[in-house]
Amino acid sequence: MNTSMLFSMHGQVAIVTGAGKGIGRACALALAGAGADVALCARTQSDLDSVAGEIRAMGRRAITVAGDISEAAAQDAVVARTLAELGKITILINNAGGAGPNNPLKMTGDDLVRVLAWNVVPAYTLIQKTIPAMRDAGGGAVVNISSVAARYAQKSFSAYGAAKAALNQLTRNLAQDFGPLVRINAIEPGTILTDALAPFLTPERRERMEKTTPLGRLGQPEDIAAAVLFLSSPASSWITGKVLGVDGGLEAPNF
């Protein structure tokens, strides 16, 4: 067994959403570092340009598509440009999403719909729009970025937890629809040190969280990127419809 080839992404072309910062950026760089060319999607062009520069410095190709990936026009643009400029699509990383805590007595039904839609619909429609290209390329892999909120029972996260639980079940069901040529899996990140978390992470809170995490530290974006690389690579060629927790071993909320 050639273990280096198991994790090689040479000849692969990936689309990564939410690629300008944090987990998305780390995923894009990990895939490029393993040999993939990457289409980068996010709202902020300057962030995309920075990541694209790092990828090109590795000797890989990168294109940027700035826009709101929840909109059909942005989805169509990234699919069309990836095919036109990078030649094919074999990997999709659905990283865009998120939401904060909610008060279940105050959150309106319309606000709940927006959280559910933002975390589920773009992943669904991008999978739908990239499947034909993956089939034409001989196969592919999708990784949806979910959250441990999907399985934790905790106060004030009914909207976000429900949205990510829906994404998990979407992952399981679409894996049945699109195998064997396309594999679809998800990752549940635990607490990851990103710019979004930083304003809430007091020294006292960080110390408590680290002490209650079995592996003794909070996660880095690169921890999620490593799991994304595994689930995108030939090393996981007999894995589909699964949800992988990457959470330092924590099995309950500790925020």
Verdict on whether the full-model pTM lies above 0.75: yes
| Amino acid at residue number 75 | Q
pLDDT at 1: 65
Residue 159: per-residue pLDDT: 98
The single-letter code of the amino acid at 124 is Y
Per-residue pLDDT of the chain (255 residues; tens, 9 = 90+): 688 899 999 999 999 999 999 999 999 999 999 999 999 999 999 999 999 999 999 999 999 999 999 999 999 999 999 999 999 999 999 999 999 999 999 999 999 999 999 999 999 999 999 999 999 999 999 999 999 999 999 999 999 999 999 999 999 999 999 999 999 999 999 999 998 888 888 999 999 999 999 999 999 999 999 999 999 999 999 999 999 999 999 999 987
- Report CA torsion sign: 162, 164, 243, 206: negative
Q: 182 and 239 in contact (C-beta within 8 Å)?
A: no
pLDDT, residue 195, reads 87
For residue 254, what pLDDT is reported? Answer: 84
What pLDDT is recorded for position 29?
98
| pLDDT score, position 198 | 85
| Dist. CA 62–CA 191, nearest whole Å | 29
Q: Residue 104 contacts by C-beta under 8 Å, 6 or more apart in sequence?
A: 156, 158
- Active site positions, annotated: 160
Tens-digit pLDDT profile for residues 172-181: 999 999 999 9
CA distance 176 to 24: 26
Residues in the chain: 255
Q: State how far the Cα of 214 lies from the Cα of 208, in Å rounded to an integer.
A: 12
The CATH superfamily of 3-194+220-245 is: NAD(P)-binding Rossmann-like Domain (3.40.50.720)
